[in-house]
Amino acid sequence: MLRLVGSHYHFRRVVPALLRDIVGKRELWFSLRTADRLEAKARASYLYGQTSILFRKAPDMTPDEVAQLLNE
């Protein structure tokens, strides 16, 4: 979930197998744009919640709608 890449932390989450065709990816990676571990944990927790919501809603969405959410 939380990875240090170089000097900044990144959020990583595997997309459930049943949703990969809809999401179009096997995993999601986002830069947390911070080198501070506590701030990274807070940002990763927020993204975990948002991706959980996405995974619940994705079966009822089109791939374009999912892509739009991921770009936001």
Residue 70 has pLDDT above 90, yes or no: no
Question: Residue 59: what residue type?
Answer: P
**Distance (Å, rounded) from C-alpha 18 to C-alpha 62?**
14
CB 27 within 8 A of CB 12: yes
Question: What pLDDT digit, counting tens, does each position of 14-53 carry?
Answer: 999 999 999 999 999 999 999 999 999 999 999 999 999 9
pLDDT value of position 36 = 97
DSSP at 31: E
Q: How confident is the model at residue 72 (pLDDT cuts 50, 70, 90)?
A: confident
DSSP assignment of 32-44 equals ---S-HHHHHHHH
* Range 2-21 average pLDDT: 96
Residue ranges per domain, the chain? Answer: 2-71
Residue 4 has pLDDT above 90, yes or no: yes
